[in-house]
Structure 1
Amino acid sequence: METYTALRHFADSWGLLGMTFFFLGVVLFNFRPGAKKAAAQASAIPLKED
């Protein structure tokens, strides 16, 4: 029971903070300069013929 309580407190505090920073990092990564060109190239990969 003590392990569950400790993990629950960790998830409620540091886990939530870590997930928030991860989410913000992903959003900022996608809105960085140059991301549009990279996304356009990646989206064209399935349509390229060998």
Structure 2
Amino acid sequence: MDYHSLRAFADSWALLVMALFFIGVVAFAFRPNSRAHADEAARIPLKED
């Protein structure tokens, strides 16, 4: 593969894959009840045995 074919791939399909991944991460972060899970995970280091 040469530079131009890699550039064409990056401009089209790789950009689409990265955009879909970003949308998925944002949707995962703002799903219902995610704040409760995040708060619980944040308290794990402070729990006593």
TM range (shorter): 0.7 to 0.9
* Between structures 1 and 2, the one with greater helix share: 1
Bigger relative contact order, structure 1 or 2, given CA contacts below 8 A and separation 6+? 1
What is the TM-score of this pair, normalised by structure 1?
A: 0.81
Question: Structure 1, unaligned stretches of length 5 or more?
Answer: none
Name segments (4+ residues, structure 1) moved above 4 Å.
Answer: none
What is the TM-score of this pair, normalised by structure 2?
A: 0.82
Between the aligned residues of both structures, percent identity stands at 57
Question: Structure 2, unaligned stretches of length 5 or more?
Answer: none
Matched residues, number = 49
Say what the alpha-carbon RMSD is for the aligned residues.
1.2
